[in-house]
Amino acid sequence: MNPRLPSKLPQVGTTIFTVMSKLAADCGAINLSQGFPDFSAPQHLFDLVTQHIAAGRNQYAPLPGVAPLREAIAEKVADLYRANYDVDQEITVTAGATQAIFTAIAACVRPGDEVIVFAPVYDSYVPGIELNGGKALYAHLQAPDYLPDWDEVASLITPKTRMIIINSPHNPSGAVWSAADLERLAALLRNTDIIVVSDEVYEHVVFDGMHHQSLAAHEELRQRSFVVSSFGKTYHITGWKIAYCLAPRELMQEFRKAHQFVVFVVNHPMQLALADFMREHPEFARGLAAFYQAKRDFFRNQLSGSRFELLPCRGTYFQLVHYGAISDEPDTVFAQRMTREHGVAVIPVSVFYPQGDDHRIVRFCFAKNEETLVAAGTRLRAV
Ligand code: PMP
Ligand code: GLN
């Protein structure tokens, strides 16, 4: 007899990123859907991995991550954000930001707890909350700027609020929060026990002279925050699934209790290689904003003369467009048709909303070689 298993996630199917990347591959379309670069990380980073493998660093890494990598992270964070995180107790290397965020939720959220998120919301947060018995409450980010309405956020706070999950620079909108946003957040959370998870995977991808406002840099918010970044985004290695989490000692203690049973430890030789590379090439991360700003501008230029209406893009490697001048189809249908008939795969933005709100907006990933963007541009101008 088959066991009966009521789903813990009845509303959830396969993630849109997997669905669209598969459809792109099946159709031979240019894949501007799932967010990943189609160019390589520096060869030197690969050589370093090979060296560490050859040197025999192939068994389990230490639980919090290898010391040289935690030291390199501490130095970077001190340098960029004037924040001192203790190398032994306040920094943990994780198997991607997804695992860091899930682990922070699992460590803190109990059945019945409420967690505030912002819609459009990155797709892993709410399943993470619900698997741990929590309930997501949604604040809304409105096009074209997708910035928080702090009065709405205030209205969502109840005695049951355990956590708020924030994400700047924001996927999918490319919105970037200001210092004033952080002040509003700090004021709202003052005198509460609410924990913050700050998803900062695009911390180095902020444009037009704006500065990333890390919670690590905010004296007050830092005390209640898990700050998450991802090497996948910074070093063009999304397939390595290595990231890190920063948090004050007491929070990190609870995080590690869960971390050790979710994943235990993270890929050893690649951590060592990243530690070497960070030390040898601090300029790499610092140059990322200019690198991606040039790609953003190049891609936006490709779309000029098309019928797509460009929304602002202040950070990340995603560009939103409104396609109302082309079609009135639902965005999921439009995304499929773009892939099958026009040969360019995109992400429909309705999938980032709990009720599937459809504003006829789709997301392009511009972390691509110029040839890819030119080829996509030719097809998109013909739509
Ligand atoms: N958060 C956001 C906002 C992301 O865009 C992504 C990946 N694109 C992640 C988390 C997950 O990062 P990782 O691949 O390191 O798990
Ligand atoms: N975060 C990436 C995106 O937004 C994809 C990561 C994934 O496929 N889970 O496209």
The DSSP output letter for 85 is: -
Q: Which domains does the chain have, with CATH numbers?
A: 16-41+286-381 (3.90.1150.10), 59-281 (3.40.640.10)
> Of all residues in the chain, what percent carry a pLDDT higher than 70?
100
Quote the CA–CA distance of 225 and 95 in Å, as a whole number: 19
Asked whether residue 156 carries a pLDDT value surpassing 90, the answer given is yes
Q: What is the pLDDT of residue 13?
A: 86
* 41: amino acid identity, one letter: A
Which helix H or strand E contains 219, and what residues bound it? helix 219-222
Please report which residue ranges of 263-347 form alpha helices under DSSP H: 268-280, 282-286, 288-303, 331-342
How far from chain centre, in Å, is Cα 243? 11
- The residue whose CA is least distant from atom 2 of ligand 2 is 35
- pLDDT at residue 344 greater than cutoff 90: yes
Task: Name residues whose C-beta falls within 8 Å of residue 278's C-beta, 6 or more positions apart in sequence.
Answer: 69, 72, 73, 76, 285
Whether residue 1 is predicted with pLDDT greater than 80 in this model: the reply is: no
Instruction: Give distance in angstroms: CA of 271 to centre of ligand 1.
Output: 18
pLDDT at position 299 over 90: yes
Q: How close is the Cα of 32 to the center of ligand 1, in Å? A: 16
274 lines ligand 1 (CB under 6 A): no
Interval between CA 46 and ligand 1 midpoint (Å): 22
- Alpha carbon distance 174, 292 (integer Å): 12
Q: Average per-residue pLDDT in the chain?
A: 97
Residue with the smallest CA separation from ligand 1 atom 3 is 171
Least confidently predicted of 13-17, 150-154, 293-297: 13-17
Residue with CA at minimum distance from ligand 1 atom 14? 96
Residue 98 in contact with ligand 1 by CB distance below 6 A: yes
Q: How far is ligand 1, taken at its centre, from the CA of residue 151, in Å?
A: 28
Q: Going by CA atoms, what residue is nearest to atom 1 of ligand 2? A: 35
Cα 97 to ligand 1 centroid, rounded to whole Å: 5
Find out whether the beta carbon of 15 lies less than 6 Å from any atom of ligand 2: yes
pLDDT at 2 over 90: no
For the chain, how many residues are written?
Answer: 383
Crossing angle for the helix pair 370-381 and 288-303, to the nearest 10 degrees: 20
Find the 18 Cα to ligand 2 centroid distance in Å: 8
Q: What is the pLDDT of residues 27-79, one digit of tens each?
A: 999 999 999 999 999 999 999 999 999 999 999 999 999 999 999 999 999 99
Name the residue at shortest CA distance from atom 8 of ligand 2: 17
* Digit-coded pLDDT (tens) for 201-223: 999 999 999 999 999 999 999 99
CB-based burial label for 263 (10 Å; 0-12, 13-18, 19+):
middle
Q: β-strand 361-365 against 347-348: which pairing, if any?
A: antiparallel
With cut-offs at 50, 70 and 90, classify the pLDDT of residue 11: confident
230 lines ligand 1 (CB under 6 A): yes
Q: Is the pLDDT of residue 324 over 80?
A: yes
CA angle at residue 69 from 268 to 239, to 5 degrees? 55
pLDDT of 378 > 90? The answer is: yes
